[in-house]
Amino acid sequence: MNPAVAIPAFFSNSGDKILARNPVMTCSVGQTLAFNPANERTKIPFNSGEISIYTDAWWTETWPEKASGDYEYPFCSATTLNSGNSYTFDQPGTFHFILCSNCDNVNESTVTVHVKYH
């Protein structure tokens, strides 16, 4: 489900890697980011659940560091989105999202979002 006012984050499947159209984005607290397949080739595996979305958004121990943007994200701590394809930011900071089908060799985020107060 895409909230009507969500900021779209388009991505596509490129072989064994998922690429974001905009790998670095800026949002405000309260805004929603919705992940959307950029083409039919990507839409089919995304809709069937073959492409997963992981994030560090719930890694609350680092919110002060996230707010400053001064921390490195351990990918092993990523958590999948609870449901759907969107996330609403309720804290400022830097958040990472990993989209992957074969997540064995992931070493960088697909989308990094810098969130600030209005």
pLDDT digits (tens, 9 = 90+) for 43-83: 999 999 999 999 988 875 554 555 555 556 566 667 888 78
CATH number of the domain where residue 81 is located:
2.60.40.420
Domain that holds residue 111: 7-116
pLDDT above 70: residue 1: no
In a domain, 109, yes or no: yes
In a domain, 2, yes or no: no
In a domain, 94, yes or no: yes
Number of domains observed in the structure of the chain: 1
pLDDT tens digits for 82-91?
Answer: 788 999 999 9
In a domain, 1, yes or no: no
φ, ψ (nearest 5 deg) of residue 75: -60, -25
C-alpha to C-alpha distance for 11 and 89, rounded to whole angstroms: 20
Say which residue the tokens 């958590």 belong to: 79
